[in-house]
Structure 1
Amino acid sequence: MKKWRLIVFAVPLLFYSLYTVAATLFIRTTSIGIRKKVRNGNGIVLTFDDGPNPLYTPKLLDLLAHHTIKAVFFVVGEHAENNPEIIQRMHEEGHSIGIHHYKHVSNWRLTPEQTRQQISRTAEVIKRITGSEPVFYRPPWGRFNLAAPIVSRRYETIMWSYILGDWKVRTCKETLAEKLRAIPADGSIVVLHDDGSNPEADDKAPAHMLSVLESYIQETTENGIRFLSPDELMMSGQGQSHVH
């Protein structure tokens, strides 16, 4: 009897592990179906997750506009729906607006159908506001399940070369500037966060991130380093295998 109880407990746990953790490890280790950098890129791609935020995202857009930098924003669908004017501004100013689920929920908590709904609902919000279909997808926390590569296949899945922990105020104050300066301009894709309302994040972290980012952009451009555009990111994947 004890043996059967163990089997009944172990089989669902094994399936869940294969569906979530193992799938994520396999995809991120092999880079099958995802992009972590721009091949042969001469510069850096700035990407921002979790917004739009009504306080911080407009300030970020002001900063990017001042330096004529185009970025990729992976937006949370419900945040986009609540702030359509910010999404419209992103679009009008030449940024790319990618999918980051309708709610900031991990693929590890979603069935295949729920995964599809999170992606498609966010795509519908973006298209309704901007009139354009999104082309990029990034799962929250960079977590996949076995269904995610299938239901997101119409989009380019963009991960990152560097994730810097800027969702914490302490990291922004103590190490973010140093981490940014260490990023090579070889097609690196950098992820930062313009909203701090999600689980494990600090509400005020984006304010500190923006301060550090402003200094970093100024220093980087003075050194002649380019920030690559979403178009350059998109073109780098055309005609290539998704195995990177």
Structure 2
Amino acid sequence: MMIVLIVSLLLLLFLCYGILPTVLIRTFSFRIMKYGDKNFRIALTFDDGPHPVYTEKLLDLLRSYHASAAFFVVGERAQRYPHLVERMSKEGHAVGIHHQTHSNSWFLLPHRLREEISGCAQSIKKITGNAPMYYRPPWGRFNLFSLSASRAYKTIMWSSINEDWKAAQGKEKLAERLKKDLGGGRIYLLHDSGDNPGADNEAPAVMLEALREFLEFAQQKGYRFVSLEELKKNNERG
């Protein structure tokens, strides 16, 4: 009986500390940004990098289409490949915080969460010379202290997610999903690294092929791929 009670209390604590804050914050968009205005503007965001192969190819692709993007980098990977983070910044892309390690906020105590955020921020500033403006927690998960720990940054979520971490769906299916979800003010979530639990290592290669097709399609429809700052300003005016 005592074991059942302890387990029940632990589950309740976990629910209140991690799952419930995540559901409430994301459902009611409390202090987060998920979309911009309804004009022909789109924001591309990429999580989990930098990756030594895929991030460079992605930057080449974005440059060829004059597309702005935001990269939510893992601090320890940024330290490993600083030239890629430096290139992101120099080419006009935003570099945001995605924790120092790819850690789940549900399992981070308050002091550890602050360390993950501040550590990543320091890594970015050391490489680019600029303090980051944006934050996105890994897996989009928050805990009871997330809003307090990240209050210095604008938290960016997404309004379009298409499971690009799964390589098996293939380029054609992913491209069609991206096209079907096309709309003004959308913030697309994509990944330039597949080196995390639940992701396929080769998934970014599929994403890049689908993204090339989507960039061409969206631009032909009159859409522009803009910075989060431009999307945010237009959303605030609306």
TM-score above 0.5: yes
Secondary structure of the structure 2 residue equivalent to 1:186 = coil
How far residue 41 of structure 1 moved from its aligned partner, in angstroms, is 4.2
Q: Unaligned stretches of 5+ in structure 1?
A: none
Asked if structure 1 preserves the Cα contact closer than 8 Å seen for 2:72 and 2:135, the reply is yes
Secondary structure of the structure 2 residue equivalent to 1:46 = strand
Asked if structure 2 preserves the Cα contact closer than 8 Å seen for 1:166 and 1:172, the reply is no
In the other structure, the counterpart of 1:158 is 156
Secondary structure of the structure 1 residue equivalent to 2:11 = helix
In the other structure, the counterpart of 1:44 is 42
Q: Distance in 2 between matches of 1:60 and 1:20?
A: 33
Which residue of the other structure, out of 34, 57, 60, is the alignment partner of 1:59?
A: 57
In the other structure, the counterpart of 1:11 is 9
How far residue 39 of structure 1 moved from its aligned partner, in angstroms, is 3.3
In the other structure, the counterpart of 1:117 is 115
In the other structure, the counterpart of 2:186 is 188
Q: Distance in 1 between matches of 2:31 and 2:229?
A: 19
* RMSD, matched Cα: 1.6
Q: Distance in 2 between matches of 1:91 and 1:139?
A: 20
Which residue of the other structure, out of 93, 96, 104, is the alignment partner of 2:94?
A: 96
Q: How many residues align?
A: 238
How far residue 237 of structure 1 moved from its aligned partner, in angstroms, is 6.0
Normalised TM-score (structure 2): 0.95
In the other structure, the counterpart of 2:211 is 213
Q: 1:233 to 1:200 in 2, by over 3 A?
A: same
Asked if structure 2 preserves the Cα contact closer than 8 Å seen for 1:76 and 1:99, the reply is yes
Q: Distance in 1 between matches of 2:7 and 2:150?
A: 31
In the other structure, the counterpart of 1:225 is 223
Secondary structure of the structure 2 residue equivalent to 1:235 = helix
C-alpha deviations, 1:111-169, integer Å up to 9, x for none?
Answer: 11111111000000000000100000001111110011110011000000011100111
Q: Distance in 2 between matches of 1:216 and 1:237?
A: 24
Q: Distance in 2 between matches of 1:136 and 1:223?
A: 29
In the other structure, the counterpart of 2:195 is 197
Q: Unaligned stretches of 5+ in structure 2?
A: none
Give the partner amino acid of 2:96.
G
Secondary structure of the structure 2 residue equivalent to 1:175 = helix
The list of structure 1 runs, each at least 4 consecutive aligned residues, that deviate by more than 6 angstroms after superposition, is none
Q: Distance in 2 between matches of 1:29 and 1:141?
A: 15
Asked if structure 2 preserves the Cα contact closer than 8 Å seen for 1:43 and 1:186, the reply is yes
Asked if structure 2 preserves the Cα contact closer than 8 Å seen for 1:95 and 1:230, the reply is no
Give the partner amino acid of 1:61.
L
How far residue 221 of structure 1 moved from its aligned partner, in angstroms, is 1.1
In the other structure, the counterpart of 1:35 is 33
C-alpha deviations, 1:12-65, integer Å up to 9, x for none?
Answer: 221111001111111111111111101344321100000000100011000111
How far residue 172 of structure 1 moved from its aligned partner, in angstroms, is 3.5
Normalised TM-score (structure 1): 0.93
Shifted more, 65-74 versus 177-186: the winner is: 177-186
Q: 1:239 to 1:67 in 2, by over 3 A?
A: closer
**Percent identity between the aligned chains?**
46
Which residue of the other structure, out of 125, 128, 133, is the alignment partner of 1:127?
A: 125
In the other structure, the counterpart of 1:68 is 66
